[in-house]
């Protein structure tokens, strides 16, 4: 089970409003972090960028 699913289930099971809001905020922050990491890794491993870097290295 993914940690975002676990946080979602925990926020449903908690009775206190403060804790429910806290867990929902943690889940939102975690999903935002994972989204940011996936976007960051896609820009690093772009095949177009690596081809350009290889051409520049070969021309030097």
**Burial of residue 23, with CB atoms counted within 10 A of its CB: 0-12 exposed, 13-18 middle, 19 or more buried:** buried
The 10s digit of each residue's pLDDT in 11-24 is 778 888 888 888 88
Res 27: pLDDT? 87
Indicate the pLDDT class of residue 58, thresholds 50, 70 and 90: low
Cβ(27)–Cβ(7) under 8 Å?
yes
pLDDT above 90 (res 32) = yes
pTM of the model: 0.55
């Amino acid at each position: 089970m993914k940690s975002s699913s676990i946080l979602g289930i925990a926020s449903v099971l908690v009775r206190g409003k403060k804790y429910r809001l806290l867990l929902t905020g943690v889940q939102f922050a975690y999903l935002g972090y994972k989204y940011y990491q996936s976007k960051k890794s896609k820009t690093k491993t772009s095949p177009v960028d690596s081809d350009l870097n290889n051409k520049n290295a070969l021309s030097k």
